[in-house]
Structure 1
Amino acid sequence: MAPEHLPALFPPRLMNRLKSILDIDESLVIQRFDQESLAPALAETEILVTGWGVPHLDAAALAAAPRLRVVLHAAGTIRSMISDSCWERGLLVSSAAHANALPVAEYTLAVILLAGKNAFGLRESMRTAHGLPPRPTDLAAVGNFGRRVGIIGASRVGRRVLELLRPFNLAICLSDPYVDAIEAARLGVELVSLEELLASSDIVSLHAPDTPQTYRMLDRQRLATIPDGATLINTSRGALIDPEALTEELTSGRLNAVLDVTEPEPLPRNSPLYYLPNVFLTPHIAGSLGNELERLGRAVVQEAERLVDGLPLLHQVVRTDLDRIA
């Protein structure tokens, strides 16, 4: 992993716990597998603890680590790390994506409720009006009672969002091709097509994985079906939305957006999205940051404990999962 992440992922007490389970050298934090000086350590390595900045585990890296059998990833997606050679060797792979889903869901809950109160728009109005209170007509459509919220994707994050939304008086609908009516009932949501969700929701929150099947899933035609004045929230990946079509919709003022991710990321300096009053941009902060990184480290420690106790990993990722996860 990138060395700067280690202290936040594994503060001293947690690192000591990890060292009591595994024979691990905390001073050996690497970002390349082809350094000659690392050859003796890699030759003996059975378990890799990885995180952001991990290099690709290709055939050459695996050849340098013939005893490697487990990867415990203290982050979310494993796509950039795991190669076909890893599956062919039969590596056990665990991800902390479940732990990273919680702060993303918390961020999403917060901005859904704020969007329902039109907090972002009223803040802009208050600033331009120099503190004058809004007129009653400006508040007629404000409020979260019965507000219709559409969740795209019952991913780890999407499911966490559904859990967090449950106590509120909102009308929740879900679109996910992998969820059937029975599972939707268990989740307590109305299952609808993507087209119906977009056309009927006041707030649309995107939680689908970034896969070839979801690339530009919100294209120009689908964006146009979202009702005037609705808010689009993206904490997933910018590639899921056609950026030119989104910019046009937002520049026109027809839609509002809360965007924690964009394409490209970051946006070019001349992007109008930085200045539009109906766009709330944040710099990819929904996932684990600061003291939240320790939660990812704890997930790794818990998996390591299960491993040495001979128990199955709780958060194992298998090859067939890759079509459905970020």
Structure 2
Amino acid sequence: MRPAVASALLDAEARRRLLDLVDVELDVVLDDFTTPTARTALAAAEVLITGWGCPPIDEAALRAAPRLRAVVHTAGSVKPHITEACWRRGIEVTSAASANAVPVAEYTLAAILFANKRVLFARDEYRAAHGREDDWHARLAAAGNYRRRIGIIGASRVGRRVLELLSPFDLDVLLSDPHVDPAEAVRLGARLAPLPELFARCDVVSVHAPQVPSTEGMVSRALLAAMPDGATLINTARGALIDQQALQEELVSGRINAVLDVTTPEVLPASSPLYTLPNVLLTPHIAGSMGGELARMAAFALDELQRWTQGVPFLDPILPEAWDRTA
């Protein structure tokens, strides 16, 4: 991982626990596997603790690490650094994706409830009125969460956590996921629905599918056009899942709203209208673990490391057979 990531992720308590679990040189933080320091460290390593900025663990890296048996990732997706060579070697892999799913789902829940309450609209109108008396019940007659219909795309770790968080509310939840059958959807607190129905009928649609070849561009121009006037699209997954140009056109028209934590490109050009549109809440990829939430991911990863040292299977392994639908 990048040295700055290690400093932010591993506080004093995590470092003490790490030292109790394994023999580790805390000052050896690698973001390049080709240096002499890296080659020396890899030669003795049985497990790699990885994070944001880890280089690919490819054939060359594995040749330098003949004793390597496991990778414990302290963040979410392992796709940037786990390669086919790891699976051929039989490397065991786990990640803290489940821990990182918690704040993403919390962000999503807040976005859903605020969207239906029309908070952005109310803020702007109240600001423009400078506190003058007004009939807010009339102006917000379409607001509220009671019996609203919410669409969830993807029963991923985040999607399932969102479904769990939505369960106490008086909402009608639809789920679209090709790997879930109707009975499982009911157990998750939703009704299974195809994407066209979900987009056409929901007040809020939230995207939680992984980015794989079959999902890129899945939120098409036609699906966006089918959304009811005033509906809200939430994306905390990946920008590439949505037709960005079509979404921008819908948002510029003012017909729908959006809460976007990710876009394509990841950082929009300074000229993008999405920065200033009143119907868009745009955040810089912060739904995942930030600040104090990093400690949750570190704790989860260390729990997995402890299981590995005890010869116990990982609680949340990454399996090669699920690679094609893993984020």
- How high is the TM-score relative to the length of structure 1? 0.98
- Tell me by how many angstroms 1:310 deviates: 1.2
Deviations 1:168-225 (A, max 9, x none): 1111111111000121121121111111100000011110111110001111111101
Distance (whole Å) between structure 1 residues aligned to residue 241 and residue 23 of structure 2:
42
The residue identity in structure 2 corresponding to 1:110 is A
- 2:289 is matched with which residue? 288
Question: Secondary structure at the residue paired with 1:142?
Answer: coil
- 1:236 is matched with which residue? 237
- 2:68 is matched with which residue? 68
1:142 aligns with 2:143: yes
- 1:114 is matched with which residue? 114
- 2:128 is matched with which residue? 128
Question: Secondary structure at the residue paired with 2:289?
Answer: coil
1:55 aligns with 2:55: yes
- Tell me by how many angstroms 1:243 deviates: 0.7
- 2:28 is matched with which residue? 28
The residue identity in structure 1 corresponding to 2:250 is E
Contact in 2 for aligned 1:126/1:134 (Cα 8 Å): no
Distance (whole Å) between structure 2 residues aligned to residue 221 and residue 250 of structure 1:
14
Contact in 2 for aligned 1:9/1:295 (Cα 8 Å): no
- 1:308 is matched with which residue? 309
The residue identity in structure 2 corresponding to 1:101 is A
The residue identity in structure 1 corresponding to 2:252 is T
Question: Secondary structure at the residue paired with 1:49?
Answer: strand
- 1:222 is matched with which residue? 223
Contact in 2 for aligned 1:238/1:263 (Cα 8 Å): yes
Distance (whole Å) between structure 2 residues aligned to residue 37 and residue 286 of structure 1:
35
The residue identity in structure 2 corresponding to 1:104 is V
- Tell me by how many angstroms 1:254 deviates: 0.4
- 1:259 is matched with which residue? 260
Deviations 1:4-36 (A, max 9, x none): 121332211121111111111110001000002
Distance (whole Å) between structure 2 residues aligned to residue 134 and residue 207 of structure 1:
37
Distance (whole Å) between structure 2 residues aligned to residue 173 and residue 264 of structure 1:
29
Contact in 1 for aligned 2:251/2:280 (Cα 8 Å): yes
Deviations 1:57-91 (A, max 9, x none): 11111111111110000010011101111100000
The residue identity in structure 2 corresponding to 1:260 is D
Contact in 1 for aligned 2:164/2:189 (Cα 8 Å): no
- How many correspondences in the alignment? 326
- 2:7 is matched with which residue? 7
Deviations 1:87-142 (A, max 9, x none): 00000000110000000000000111111100011112222333334543311111
TM alignment of 1:192-231, pairs within 5 A: 192-231=193-232
The residue identity in structure 2 corresponding to 1:227 is P
The residue identity in structure 2 corresponding to 1:71 is V
Alpha-carbon RMSD across the aligned residues, in angstroms, is 1.0
- 1:103 is matched with which residue? 103
Contact in 2 for aligned 1:230/1:256 (Cα 8 Å): yes
TM alignment of 1:151-230, pairs within 5 A: 151-230=152-231
The residue identity in structure 1 corresponding to 2:62 is L
Distance (whole Å) between structure 1 residues aligned to residue 186 and residue 281 of structure 2:
33
Contact in 2 for aligned 1:8/1:291 (Cα 8 Å): no
Q: Provide closer, same or farther for how the CA distance between residues 134 and 55 of structure 1 changes in structure 2, counting only shifts above 3 A.
A: farther
Contact in 2 for aligned 1:122/1:134 (Cα 8 Å): no
Distance (whole Å) between structure 2 residues aligned to residue 219 and residue 192 of structure 1:
17
Distance (whole Å) between structure 1 residues aligned to residue 136 and residue 312 of structure 2:
61
Distance (whole Å) between structure 1 residues aligned to residue 60 and residue 259 of structure 2:
42
Distance (whole Å) between structure 2 residues aligned to residue 237 and residue 126 of structure 1:
33
Contact in 2 for aligned 1:228/1:255 (Cα 8 Å): yes
Distance (whole Å) between structure 1 residues aligned to residue 278 and residue 268 of structure 2:
17
Question: Secondary structure at the residue paired with 1:304?
Answer: helix
Question: Secondary structure at the residue paired with 1:34?
Answer: coil
Gaps of 5+ in 1: none
- Tell me by how many angstroms 1:37 deviates: 2.9
- 1:82 is matched with which residue? 82
Deviations 1:273-304 (A, max 9, x none): 01111001111110000110011111111011
Contact in 2 for aligned 1:54/1:81 (Cα 8 Å): yes
- How high is the TM-score relative to the length of structure 2? 0.98
Distance (whole Å) between structure 2 residues aligned to residue 111 and residue 296 of structure 1:
23
Question: Secondary structure at the residue paired with 1:38?
Answer: helix
The residue identity in structure 2 corresponding to 1:164 is L
